[in-house]
Structures are given as structure tokens and as C-alpha cells.
Amino acid sequence: MSPKQIIFKKISKDKSVGVYMGKRDFVDRIDSVDVVDGVVLVDPEVLQGKKVYVTLSCSFRYGRDDMDVMGIAFRRDIFMSTRQIYPPLQDKEQGILTKVQEKILIKLGENAYPFFFEFPDNLPCSVGMQPAPTDVGKRCAVEFEVKAFSAENQDAKVRKRSTVSLAIRKVQYAPEQDGPAPCVSTTRDFLMSDKPLHLEASLDKATYYHGQPINVRVNINNTSNKNVRNIIISVDQIANVVLYCNDSYVKTVAIEDSGDTVEAGATLDKVYSVLPLLAHNRERRGIALDGKLKHEDTNLASSSVVKPGVLKEVLGILVSYRIMVKLIIGGEVGVELPFRLMHPKPDAGILCVEMEEDMVFEEFKRAYLKGMIEDEEGNVSTGEGS
């Protein structure tokens, strides 16, 4: 049986424009980023001489769309590029088309036109902060959107009925070459003790995949006269909102309270396992998540990879992770191990599926993390009274 290629579509309320795309996730490979490509279907009779434009935008949101305090909007556009699609500025035959575009154009006919956008090197990946259950409609996120609209010209006022918007994601996979496995040690001297306590902690690799247990090896040589009363292993997510305010959120997303003890003069060499998952943190405000589309589930945000020469302030929200190993000895003795949490790169065969005969057209809808309601036009609102 031939594999089916899902084509995501969305049509404006007045039927003047429709957008068709073969995928919603676009991969940043550090040295290159997927081209955003799709097809716009127009209805010349409905347009009545108007032009059709497509915009690719990246924005940083830190509040609801309808919030405006002293003239300051709670949104900042990081990047925006607009192209005229109809009437076309060049012959359709002159451009180089992807195989998905070729198939869609054949299916839709003569009133369909392709579009392309390239991401600049300095754009962040899709990420958002999880609101609390009571934060209806509030969000802090880096979002990407493809929007098509019809108007007399690019700067004219656009009617909502003549606009269609599609949320897309820019995602990043773990690099093929992993760095050295983290290892850290510390020695602590105590008053009234002739000898110290030595702690060493290590991971078996630098990058872990979402849903993968993290094994932490802990080696303790307690030559002091103090007793270790407990060993706690935790995973911290650090999210730095750098675009506007430099806020920093440190959230423990997994913890192993072992209850293990190490008596004075004893040693311990043990591997602990921790598993950071969104499933264990769904009701916690301020957890950073990978961007979410449609009704799909998401996961804890992937670690941010900052390219050389890119200003961190442009990236909106920077996410990193660390393992904390704490020994309870009256006070605490601890070390931290930084690591990366990311998605594995899919197999080449999955990334390059050849389309066969069948294409399945699926309505393109979007929903935010919590409390967002979509109306019949595909517009998203908070569900609150106006």
C-alpha cells in the first residue's frame, strides 16, 4: 500500500485565499534550515482585482493579543518577510519546486501558486512558557506563523475574513557529534574533622533525548567524621527570557530523593536514574515547553543551541538543563552537571519520504497550551468575554 502524504490546508472565511503546506515542522540543522514552502490557492472572482500576499513571521509574545498597556503591545516581531504571490511576479515555470509543491499544484490547478521563505540564521526555535491553570489566555512564547491575505496593496487594511494564518514550528535536533560526558568533583573539609569528604558525579553522555532516563553515577569517599544522611538527585530546567527583561526561571522537573546514607569513613559508588517528563509537570507555571501545534501533545523545551556570532538577546527564551547532586550533612554538599535535552535526528528515510499517488488534505487548526478556544473561522481567542 502506497504511503499517503498529508497536506495541511486552511481557507479564509471569504474563500479568496487558501494555504496548503506539506509539513508544519521546519528543522534547524545549525549549518542550514529547512525552507518554508507551500502553495496558495486563489479565487480571482472573489478577489475582484485585489492582490494576494504571504508573510512569514517570528514573534515573541508575553501576554494576550488584546492586552495593551499605555500603548505598549505585548508582542514583538523578531522577523517578518512578505511576498506578493498573486498576480505572480514571475512565471511559475521559472521557479524550482519541491516535490510536494509539484503534486499540490497539479491537484489544485491553474489558480494555485507556490511560495518560498528562508529563515535567517539568527532566529530562535519555537518555545513557550507553560501557564498556570488559572492563567487563561496568557502566554510567553516564541512563535512562527505563515499568513496569507488579500488586499489592494501590501500596506492596506486587511479584513479578517480575507486572511488565513497557520502556526508552524522551527525545531532543532541533537547534533550528530556529542560532546564529552560531563564529570565534576568536589572536596569538602569540615570543622572538627581531620579528613575531608570527596564527591564525584558523572553522566554517561552530554546529550539525552526526550523520554530517555538519565543515569547519574555518584561516587562518595567519606573520610570525614560526618554522616551523609541523604542523597538527592534532581534535574533543573533553566529558562532565561532574554529579549525584554532578562527574567530567569529555574524549575526542578525531576527528582530522586534516594534516602541513601554514607556513614563516616565509608564509601558509596552508585548509579541513580532520573526521568524529566512534562507528564510530571503539567500543572506547574513557568515550565518551558517546545512549541505546540494543533491538538498534538508537546514536551519539555529542548536545550537552546546558540550559533556562533548570534546575539542571545534575539533568541527570546534560552533553555538549558543541569543535574544537581546534593548530599545532606547538616548542611549541603553539592555539584551540578550541565547536559542537553533534545530530540534525536529522525532517520534519513523518514525525513525524505517519497510521495506516491495519494495525498490526504487535512484541515489546519491551532490551539495554544491551555485555555485557548478556536472559532469556526480558525481564529484563536481566550474564551473570555469581550
Query: What confidence tens digit (pLDDT) does each residue in 126-152 have?
Result: 998 887 666 555 568 888 999 999 998
Determine the pLDDT at residue 372: 35
- In the chain, which ranges are continuous DSSP H helix? 44-47, 99-108, 348-351
Taking the model in full, what pTM does it have? 0.80
Q: Are 51 and 86 in contact (CB under 8 A)?
A: yes
Determine the pLDDT at residue 305: 86
Q: Are 235 and 254 in contact (CB under 8 A)?
A: yes
Q: Are 167 and 59 in contact (CB under 8 A)?
A: no
Determine the pLDDT at residue 375: 40
For 349, list phi and psi in degrees, rounded to 5: -65, -30
Mean per-residue pLDDT, 35-47? 93
Mean per-residue pLDDT, 70-83? 75
Q: 177-183, long-range: CB within 8 Å, 24+ apart, which pairs?
A: 178/205, 178/206, 178/207, 179/206, 179/207, 180/206, 181/205, 181/206, 182/206, 182/323, 182/337, 182/338, 182/339, 183/337
Report how far apart, in Å, the C-alpha atoms of 136 and of each of 62, 261, 370, 381 are. 13, 45, 7, 10
Asked if pLDDT for residue 218 goes beyond 90, the answer is yes
Q: What is the DSSP string of 166-184?
A: EEEEEEEBPPSS--PPPEE
Determine the pLDDT at residue 345: 80
For 308, list phi and psi in degrees, rounded to 5: -55, 135
* Torsion sign (Cα): 223, 226, 230, 233: negative
Q: Are 367 and 292 in contact (CB under 8 A)?
A: yes
Share of the chain above pLDDT 90, in %: 46
Select from 226, 218, 235 the least CA-distant residue to 197. 226
Residue with cell 516535490: 99
Query: What is the bridge-based pairing of β-strands 288-290 and 127-129?
Result: antiparallel
Residue with cell 490547478: 109
pLDDT band at 355 (very low <50, low <70, confident <90, very high): very low
Determine the pLDDT at residue 84: 94
Give the integer Cα–Cα distance in Å for 384 and 141.
20
Determine the pLDDT at residue 383: 35
